[in-house]
A and B are shown apart, each in its own frame.
Chain A
Amino acid sequence: MRAALAFFILFGVLPLGAGLVYAFLYATGFIGLLNTGFTLQNWYNALISRSLWQSISLSLGISLLVSALAFFAAVYSWYYSRLLLEKRIPQALLRAPLAVPPIVASFVSYQWWSNSGVFARIFQQLGWIQRNADFPELVNDAAYFGVVVTLFYLSFPFVLLYLIDQARRMQLGAYLELAATLGASEGQIRRKLLFPMLFYRMLPTLVLYAVFLFGAYEAPQVLGRQSPAMISVLIHEKLSRYNLSDIPLAYAYALVYAGILMLLLGVFWRWNEKTD
């Protein structure tokens, strides 16, 4: 047990902790070739940056929205097709999208949904629009539709496969049948049994998945906007564009982002422990 804990600390906590310390020292001016010494200016600039807070809010909103959509879609899919989903071929089909890298999924989305994409051309062929420019903006759009759809496409199979496994372990099908036998209506089964049982069972995993989506990079880079940008895109831009003096600011952004995530996760776990 002690060996396992030491292994986890050495290869899990230590590299992450060292990275955070390095970022802190860089953002505070202690290290870095172009830094000139201790300064809090980067922290001040980060904390008053409208772009940073917009990006964090946007990332949080999209990660929660996609997780919620994936959860509800998975619950409905399982409820209405659970016998089918237990079979080998549908399970194999569900696993297929898990092998698609996010960058590939993003380019595929672009080919489908952009103004010069497949849907726009079909609409034009059908005479529903005069020019491809008349097709609604569904990628690089203000509502982040393209990003949400792509992240949903990547998330849904994972959430559904996890749900199938959890439902099997909970023997949820038997509970539902029992409730129906005892006279519960379909609406009651869904509202009082299906959603609450799955929600509380899957919540910790869904929260961790939302954290993963919070930091999504490829889909927002290809299908999102420069402003507001999702947080990983914003930090990468600060780290890699032309102004070397922005690098400490990028580290400050990254630490604010990491700090907020840790805070949110801490609050969640505390709440989860209490409700358990």
Chain B
Amino acid sequence: MILFKKIRFLIFALPFLAACGSSAPHVEPNWLEKPWSDIEAAAKGSTVRLMMWQGDPQINAYMHDWLAPALEKKYGVHLDISSGQGNELVKLLLSEKEAGRQQSSIDLCWINGETFFQLRQIQALYGPFIEKLPNAQFIDLQNSFIGQDFQQPVNGYECPWGNVQLALIYDSLRTPVPPRTLEALAAYCAAHPGKFTIPYHFTGITLLKSWLIGLSGDKNTLNGPFDEAKYQALSQKLWDYLRANKANFWRKGATYPESVAAMHQMFANGELDFTMSNNDNEADNKILQHVLPGSSKSFVFESGTIQNSHYMGIPAHATNVAGALVAVNFMISPEAQYQKMQPGVWGDGTVLDSKRLPEPWKTQFEQLPARLRGAIQPYALQEPAPEYMIRLFADFKKYLIEQ
């Protein structure tokens, strides 16, 4: 009987114990007040645990085969990379905070807008640290596509690492003239039913955000905090447009692919005429990987597409802040950014402002082949506040999938 009483007590107490338990307090020196040479000295010989999305072989190759060895060789910092992105990362840091852990299981993470918003909500990020990084001098933080993440000022709590713009991909042999307006897209879908769809995923929602702004006719309309009235008015137009055309979408608009990778596969197989990516260089690097046909090209809508940056953040309870700072500083060095920007390596847009770079880097960056970026920059739209994404994601299901 006593045994059962004890067990009954444990059943009810365990969640509380899990919620209240905490690891031993870990006190990191205040690195933001120390000279950079001290930070480099403390980082030497340490391991930085980086959590990042590892779904692309080229990105993985860049990180594992080039960046990690170079970081170890130059600064003696070992990079230990684990898989995890967006929601997994938020869940991990949220659970650590809820459990009262003082030592995070990671030191560095790859994030962007919606994750930054969520991590700031739960105060899970360390900072402000950007100004501490010597290589931050080459970044123009006044550039709203870099210094603001989903309308939120970065404020030094994450460091820009790459910059990309949403682009649609088509096969120039199958579709010589891609539709660049919503009207043209509707006509295309009517003539080629089943050949277009939107991924039910971050990239698809980014396209919907681009269209939401496009439908307003003013590219700055959604700048600033979330505006319910604007959202209601514009999203109504968006759902009207999508519902009017969904019968001509893939699977008659009753279901949508869960990932861009699935869309790439269907595009390559001929099941779809379009795929898309948040990286405007995706067509080039997927052609080099032989994932997409050589005749694949990218385009953006005349009303524009979202351009945004992705960042590196340090968890508030990271145990190797010095190592993380050194790693991030190397990631934004001209050398690492130049390597990353080459289409055969990753093709990720740089966050460095070429005007601020010393020679010979300035010339080298300017001579890199950027097949699309120059042409699409005038069509770049700023990311609206994160609430637009949350609402669009929920309403996409409510007004498009379920109706």
Contact = CB atoms under 8 A, between A and B. Distances in A.
Contact of A34 (B88, B122, B394): B122
Given A6-B3, A116-B266, A227-B402, A244 B11 contact: no
Nearest to B18: A22
B255 A140 contact: yes
Interface residues of B, number: 42
A221 B259 CA distance: 11
B251 interface: yes
A21 B14 contact: yes
A18 B14 contact: yes
A142 interface: yes
Contacts of A6: 3, 7
Interface stretch (A156-164, A211-219, A235-243): A235-243
B90 interface: yes
Nearest to A135: B271
Interface in A217-236: 221-222, 225-227
A242 B392 CA distance: 10
A25 interface: yes
B393 A241 contact: yes
Interface in A24-59: 25, 31-34, 51
Interface string B372-403: 00000000000000100110011001000110
Interface in A122-161: 132-133, 137, 140-142
B11 A116 contact: no
A244 B98 contact: no
A242 B390 contact: yes
Contacts of B271: 114-116, 132-133
Given A22-B18, A133-B271, A140-B251, A227 B397 contact: yes
A243 B114 CA distance: 9
A140 B11 CA distance: 41
A221 B258 contact: yes
B98 A243 contact: no
Interface in B229-276: 251, 254-256, 258, 265-266, 269-271
Nearest to B114: A242
Contact of A14 (B7, B122, B386): B7
Given A14-B14, A21-B12, A32-B98, A244 B401 contact: no
B181 interface: no
Interface centre among A9, A25, A243 (most CB of B within 10 A): A243
Contact of A226 (B97, B114, B195, B397): B397
A142 B91 contact: no
Contact of A244 (B18, B19, B88, B118): B118
B194 interface: yes
Interface in B177-230: 194-195, 200
A140 B259 CA distance: 13
B93 to A, nearest CB: 10
Interface in A1-25: 2, 6, 9-10, 13-15, 17-18, 21-22, 25
A102 to B, nearest CB: 16
Nearest to B15: A22
B14 A225 contact: no
Contacts of B12: 21
Contacts of A242: 86-87, 114, 118, 386, 389-390, 393
B91 to A, nearest CB: 7
Contacts of B401: 225-227
Interface in A171-221: 221
A21 B98 CA distance: 16
Contact of A116 (B15, B19, B269): B269
B349 to A, nearest CB: 24
A33 B11 contact: no
A22 B95 CA distance: 12
A14 B97 contact: no
Contacts of A9: 7
A185 B398 CA distance: 56
Contacts of B402: 51, 227
B394 A243 contact: yes
B390 A243 contact: yes
A33 B194 contact: no
Contacts of A15: 14
Contact of A241 (B87, B97, B265, B386): B87
B255 A226 contact: yes
A28 to B, nearest CB: 12
Contacts of A116: 265-266, 269-271
Interface centre among A13, A21, A31, A244 (most CB of B within 10 A): A244
A59 B97 CA distance: 34
A215 B390 CA distance: 27
Nearest to B266: A116
Given A10-B7, A14-B10, A116-B266, A225 B255 contact: yes
A116 B267 CA distance: 10
A105 to B, nearest CB: 17
B136 interface: no
B270 A132 contact: yes
Nearest to A115: B271
Interface in B149-198: 194-195
B399 to A, nearest CB: 11
A21 B88 CA distance: 23
20 contacts: A2-B3, A10-B7, A18-B11, A25-B15, A31-B19, A32-B98, A33-B94, A33-B98, A114-B271, A115-B271, A132-B270, A133-B194, A141-B251, A225-B255, A227-B402, A239-B91, A240-B91, A242-B118, A242-B386, A244-B90
Given A18-B15, A31-B15, A225-B401, 9 more contacts: A2-B3, A6-B7, A14-B14, A22-B14, A22-B18, A34-B122, A132-B270, A226-B401, A227-B401
